[in-house]
Structure 1
């Protein structure tokens, strides 16, 4: 009899996570009948105890905020990708019991953009300066050949983004959030801000913009993404990112090729719809 295998997503808050929907859809398509994937509300204080109690049935973990950095001291090894931004969103338990940490957000961003036809850009703009913004800079280090302008709200955030830029080899230029409308003229705009933060920019979308990558997936579309789509321009959404990073997690945890189309369909169904009119599918 095949031993049951377990995986889960951890974070706080976690009730909104679509990860169980995506991973379970993959398991069903791959015939992994003895695999399960759950979600657990775990904060930074509870994380060490939770990890220590896991037994040999566990294949891996997905980490969301605020655990992506807190998990690192609990791991035996961390990939170069994850180390570059000091953020782990994937843990795989090896056969010999070691805990391997990786970051699938960065290659997930690159894959989502390439799927929509964005291979290289001469410059880019990043809206926001949180944890997702650092992953965006890491992705841009692979596809952007020129400067990246980050629009931030505080001097502390500005310093952080400059530091990440130096570490990742990205030419980061800082602008105050008050001038964020100017960002909308960049060939690629990556919005990494919380829900509602970019709504006020929607009316400033130019008539022929470049590509927008808005990392939110619920609510969707955001006001900015909806207006962008109305122009007929390319929009990449948070579900694209979520699916691509989850595909890589399934690959690593199961050793099998994850079914991208099946996982995307499951995510769209869970959100109750597809893309805003005009967005590439």
Structure 2
């Protein structure tokens, strides 16, 4: 049932660390645009050990939760149901509390990535490259399963990580080739490059940006731009940022938690850009 403006409902983002999260800014902006004056959205520092107790303390006024690291997999045993999308990568970033008290997990990172690509006109590519092999890389691989018709090459630092990415490829029905991180510069010639690594990791690759780069999806949003994104943009390539991803997945979260649609994307993006400029 869609939320009423006067409903007193709560939502929040959980994780550790959590102080940097833009989710409160985005969700509150959405509530304001939707006229949900009775809704609130907060952030809580919660680690894996503290997650069960946090859940047990929630009352019937709670509508949903956003989850960031390290909770996306730890939350699964606490849920009554998870979506096929979340199950495909064993990662939940959204929990919705239903009227009958069920805890339902979903993953909006994957469709959020696809939506961010489509916003820039990228409906399909014949090959792609992923920089990194962590939890975000598996979500990126799941997103690429929807837009990439050919091989995805993952550039990683260890054989263990390479094996993980190949396993994810088999599970998601994506043709995955793995390559050593030492050769990551060659990834930059792919039709679509998805950088999923922590801040600073790809800085050394900036000097290797080709003369005519194609599309870079860098999942970071702070600090921004990254050295790689700045050089890519300077060379005339298209750049999709972590803020684009964050905004698109937040829109989907708000829709799931409130039942309201459409959620004003540009209002959330403007709120996020303003908050980042003030940091």
TM-score in same-fold range (> 0.5): yes
From 259, 262, 273, the counterpart of 2:264 = 259
Q: Deviations over 1:170-192 (max 9, x none)?
A: 00000000000000000000000
**CA–CA distance in structure 2, aligned partners of residues 205 and 63 of structure 1:** 34
Within 5 Å, which residues of 2 pair with 1:113-192?
113-192=117-196
1:61 aligns with 2:70: no
Contact 2:6 2:37 in 1 (8 A): no
Within 5 Å, which residues of 2 pair with 1:183-222?
183-222=187-226
The Cα shift of 1:132 comes to 0.3
Q: Does the residue aligned with 1:7 lie in a helix, a strand or coil?
A: strand
**CA–CA distance in structure 2, aligned partners of residues 3 and 110 of structure 1:** 32
From 26, 29, 36, the counterpart of 1:32 = 36
The Cα shift of 1:31 comes to 0.6
Q: Does the residue aligned with 1:8 lie in a helix, a strand or coil?
A: strand
The Cα shift of 1:52 comes to 1.1
The count of corresponding residues between Structure 1 and Structure 2 is 273
Contact 2:6 2:36 in 1 (8 A): no
- What TM-score do you get using the length of structure 1 for normalisation? 0.96
Q: Deviations over 1:81-100 (max 9, x none)?
A: 00000000000000000000
**CA–CA distance in structure 1, aligned partners of residues 83 and 221 of structure 2:** 27
The Cα shift of 1:3 comes to 4.0
Q: Does the residue aligned with 1:208 lie in a helix, a strand or coil?
A: coil
- Could you tell me which residue of structure 2 aligns to residue 109 of structure 1? 113
- What TM-score do you get using the length of structure 2 for normalisation? 0.97
**CA–CA distance in structure 2, aligned partners of residues 212 and 139 of structure 1:** 14
Structure 2 unmatched ranges of 5 or more: none
The Cα shift of 1:4 comes to 1.2
The Cα shift of 1:155 comes to 1.2
**CA–CA distance in structure 1, aligned partners of residues 160 and 41 of structure 2:** 38
**CA–CA distance in structure 2, aligned partners of residues 136 and 152 of structure 1:** 14
